[in-house]
């Protein structure tokens, strides 16, 4: 059995009060390859009746996405004792621990490249990101106005101040490309990834089908689910695409994008493109 990567200066962190079981699964995927100093899941404790081994549960109630950003920006500091933390979400985790670069610990923030941004604004996505405790301390600066989304708040709104006033270092675009990917696809293996729309790239078809079948309908509403569904149709994974379409139907979605997905699904089924299920 291959030895796990040892990161004694990094705490694994996930904040998930809506779907903690999915957050736990992502954390466990990380822990399968990496030994962290600690692993913290912030969630509503009643939603996790059986605490998972190797993960500490900390109580938190969040009622909105902006509230998530507020906590990520100014609520994490008291809970982190290591020099760094790796932030993950349910749809992003470690892919290949062999890609880890110790030089990343010289950065105060490192995340996957953002799409359609110049190099000085391209780092980076917060859903799978490496952050320093120094960053968490700097974010307590009352002169910094906090807003949602938290990664854009850090990397666009306040990057210059964080670098100049607080002496923080953001990873380079080259480092970000090796660290993880989200909307900008990589040309080489990465340490991790983020994004529901990328799951077909990292999961076997049967495993992805089971995961999509377990998702609450609300996660089928947004653009991320749309993009995953479109790719599943293109690849002929119609049974899994049908699950997304069925959830959007239950949500009463009749927007142009959803109708376009239904049309593509029907056309692919007529052409005999893969195993199908009930259309949405």
Task: Give pTM, 2 decimals.
Answer: 0.95
User: Alpha carbon of 208 to those of 19, 38, 189: distances in Å?
Assistant: 17, 28, 20
Digit-coded pLDDT (tens) for 109-132: 999 999 999 999 999 999 999 999
**In this structure, are 128 and 167 located in the same domain?**
yes
Residue 279: inside a domain: no
Phi, psi of 42 (to 5 degrees): -90, 120
Yes or no: say if 255 and 216 are a contact pair by the CB < 8 Å rule: no
Average per-residue pLDDT in the chain? 96
Q: What percent of the chain has pLDDT over 70?
A: 97
Yes or no: say if 265 and 233 are a contact pair by the CB < 8 Å rule: yes
> Mean pLDDT throughout 212-229?
98
Q: Which two tokens stand for residue 38?
A: 């600690």
Residue 280: inside a domain: no
Range of the domain at 143: 5-194
> Mean pLDDT throughout 220-239?
98
**In this structure, are 16 and 128 located in the same domain?**
yes
Q: Which two tokens stand for residue 258?
A: 């959803």
Confidence of residue 278 (pLDDT cuts 50, 70, 90): very low
Q: Is the pLDDT of residue 193 over 90?
A: yes
Q: Which two tokens stand for residue 75?
A: 């609520």
* Chosen domain end from 194, 225, 257: 194
Digit-coded pLDDT (tens) for 32-78: 999 999 999 999 999 999 989 999 999 999 999 999 999 999 999 99
Residue 24: inside a domain: yes
Q: What percent of the chain has pLDDT over 90?
A: 95
Yes or no: say if 105 and 84 are a contact pair by the CB < 8 Å rule: yes
Q: Give the pLDDT confidence score for residue 275 in this predicted structure.
A: 53
Residue 199: inside a domain: no
**In this structure, are 36 and 96 located in the same domain?**
yes
**In this structure, are 232 and 139 located in the same domain?**
no
**In this structure, are 39 and 131 located in the same domain?**
yes
Q: Give the pLDDT confidence score for residue 272 in this predicted structure.
A: 85
Digit-coded pLDDT (tens) for 123-177: 999 999 999 999 999 999 999 999 999 999 999 999 999 999 999 999 999 999 9
**In this structure, are 118 and 162 located in the same domain?**
yes
Q: Is the pLDDT of residue 274 over 80?
A: no
Residue 121: inside a domain: yes
């Amino acid at each position: 059995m291959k030895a796990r990567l040892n990161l004694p200066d990094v705490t694994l962190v996930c904040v998930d009060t809506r779907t903690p079981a999915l957050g736990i699964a992502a954390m466990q995927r990380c822990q399968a390859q990496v030994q962290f100093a600690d692993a913290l899941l912030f969630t509503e404790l009643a939603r996790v009746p059986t605490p998972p081994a190797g993960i500490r549960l900390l109580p938190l109630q969040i009622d909105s996405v902006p509230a998530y950003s507020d906590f990520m920006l100014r609520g994490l500091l008291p809970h982190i004792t290591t020099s760094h933390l790796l932030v993950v979400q349910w749809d992003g985790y470690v892919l290949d621990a062999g890609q880890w670069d110790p030089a990343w610990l010289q950065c105060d923030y490192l995340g996957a490249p953002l799409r359609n941004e110049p190099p000085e604004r391209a780092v980076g996505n917060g859903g799978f990101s490496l952050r320093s405790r120094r960053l968490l301390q700097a974010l307590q600066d009352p002169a910094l106005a906090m807003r949602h989304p938290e990664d854009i708040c850090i990397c666009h709104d306040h990057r210059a101040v964080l670098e100049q006033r607080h002496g923080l270092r953001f990873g380079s675009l080259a480092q970000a490309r090796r660290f993880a990917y989200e909307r900008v696809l990589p040309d080489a293996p990465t340490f991790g990834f983020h994004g529901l729309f990328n799951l077909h790239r990292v999961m076997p078809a049967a495993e992805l089908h089971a995961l999509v079948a377990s998702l609450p309908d609300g996660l089928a509403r947004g653009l991320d689910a749309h993009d995953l569904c479109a790719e599943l149709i293109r690849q002929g994974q119609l049974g899994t695409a049908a699950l997304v379409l069925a959830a959007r139907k239950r949500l009463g979605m009749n927007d142009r994008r959803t109708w376009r997905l239904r049309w593509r699904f029907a056309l692919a089924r007529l052409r005999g493109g893969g195993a199908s299920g009930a259309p949405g």
